[in-house]
């Protein structure tokens, strides 16, 4: 009934993943390749966590 109150860790991780990718894009456009690399690596780690959650649910 009140499923919208439940925690959705995958939803939060997807939001964080897209935020990190957007920040990485802006860093790349500004010429800050070091920050771009760091943010892309973090986004990849978050994506791996999302995949682990999706495989554990099925």
pLDDT digits (tens, 9 = 90+) for 5-56: 566 888 999 999 999 999 999 999 999 999 999 999 999 999 999 999 888 8
Q: Provide the pLDDT for residue 3.
A: 59
Predicted TM-score (pTM) of the model is: 0.82
Q: Provide the pLDDT for residue 9.
A: 85
Q: Provide the pLDDT for residue 5.
A: 58
Higher-pLDDT residue of 3, 23 = 23
Q: Which residues are within 8 A (CB) of 27 and not within 5 positions of it... i.e. 6 or more apart?
A: 33, 35, 36, 39
pLDDT at 1 over 70: no
Taken in order 47, 50, 55, 58, the sign of the CA dihedral is negative
Chain Cα centroid distance, residue 13: 5
């Amino acid at each position: 009934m009140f499923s919208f109150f439940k925690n959705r860790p995958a939803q939060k991780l997807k939001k964080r993943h897209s935020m990190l990718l957007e920040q990485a894009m802006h860093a790349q456009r500004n010429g800050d390749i070091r920050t771009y690399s760091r943010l892309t690596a973090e986004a990849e780690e978050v994506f791996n966590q999302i995949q682990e959650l999706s495989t554990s649910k099925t």
